[in-house]
Amino acid sequence: MSNDIIGQENIKKLFLNSLKNDTLGHCYALEGESGMGKSLMTDYIAQMVVCENHCACGSCKSCVMAQAGSHPDIEHIVPEDGKKNIGVEAVRSMIADIYVRPYMSKRKVIIINNFELAMPQAQNAILKVLEEPPEYVLFLLTVSSEKDMLDTVKSRSVMLKMQPYTKAEIGRALSEKTSLSKDEIAFSCAYAAGNIGKALKIASNEEFTDIRNKSFSAVMALIDEHRILPLINLTKKENSKNISSILECLLSFLRDIMLIRIGMEDSVINRDFAEKLSQAAQKTEPEKLVRAMQDLLETENYLRRNINYNLAVSGVLLGSLEEL
């Protein structure tokens, strides 16, 4: 971890000010989809809180220990070995320890990333602490959606939404961490739509280029020749581990065709395919594109809810895309 992390300036400022004015609360929950850097941010805030200079300076003893993961006043609660969820057992030892004052810092920081994994019993145990917290305790939670938190826990937490990263911020991360060319960086920035993790994932995934090319061919086969076979092959069950990338690529091509169709060429993401996408735009109707995009999103939704793969893909996706 460097002594600064990219983006989320409002959140950083909030903690800097609260530390400066000594107005820090007891529980903060960072909300945002996967890839938004929530757990990096909780580590960074924890470092800021224990830092002897209250700013994650990176050079004081507390910062060095926090960065090495060995600061005695920062604790992570994770599922127990072999378990997927955070059960009440996992929080029990933390609770036993919570009334022991911090060793080095003014505060004791408890980090629970992916709070959606905390079972109601575990959340209730944490609630008990939050009802009358020792003055030095700070909980930092991350959650994909606030819906996954018990209302009672939510009402005792300050909810903070992770903000989309700017293209400049994502560009900075990509040029620091990858050896992509300028054009590749521009595509990843546009494609990732503010999600820094997604941009890094695309950049480091060789398979992604292949998926993207195949998705493009599948869309063109549909629109140009009314052939659905490439799409059926692409989305068959053996490719299910890549289905979310496949759906995203399909969606990005349809979206680009739609943008061209309504005269917004400047916003196209897949610029390297722009010419062929323009030709496709002349061959289909906006209404059909909108319906196909809606069904793509619905398929994503079904798959996220673990609805039977074939049902989601053949039942929803293939039917509507066939009409393009």
Question: Residue 57 CB, nearest distance to Zn ion (Å)?
Answer: 3
Contact code string over 52-91 relative to Zn ion, x by CB under 5 A: -x---x--x--x----------------------------
Distance CA 241, CA 263 (A): 35
Question: Residue 53 CB, nearest distance to Zn ion (Å)?
Answer: 5
Is residue 123 classed as helix, strand or coil in its secondary structure? helix
Task: With CB under 5 A as the rule, give the number of residues binding Zn ion.
Answer: 5
Segment interacting with Zn ion (CB under 5 A) among 45-53, 104-112, 136-144, 223-231 = 45-53
Does 50 engage in binding with Zn ion (CB under 5 A)? no
52 near 60, Cβ under 8 Å?
yes
Question: Residue 68 CB, nearest distance to Zn ion (Å)?
Answer: 13
Is 88 or 104 the residue whose CB approaches Zn ion more closely? 104
Residue at 148: amino acid letter: D
Does 51 engage in binding with Zn ion (CB under 5 A)? yes
Segment interacting with Zn ion (CB under 5 A) among 7-15, 47-55, 68-76, 255-263 = 47-55
Distances (CA, A) of 244 to 124, 212, 215, 296: 34, 12, 12, 10
Is 61 or 237 the residue whose CB approaches Zn ion more closely? 61
Is 58 or 79 the residue whose CB approaches Zn ion more closely? 58
Tokens of 39: 């757990």
* Residues 195-224 interacting with Zn ion (rule: CB under 5 A): none
Distances (CA, A) of 58 to 4, 5, 159, 164, 170: 8, 11, 27, 25, 22
Is 104 or 130 the residue whose CB approaches Zn ion more closely? 104
DSSP string, 163-228: PPPPHHHHHHHHHHH----HHHHHHHHHHHTT-HHHHHHHHH-HHHHHHHHHHHHHHHHHHHH---
Closest CA to 289 of 259, 268, 248, 244: 259
Question: Residue 136 CB, nearest distance to Zn ion (Å)?
Answer: 18
Residues near Zn ion (CB under 5 A) are 51, 53, 57, 60, 63
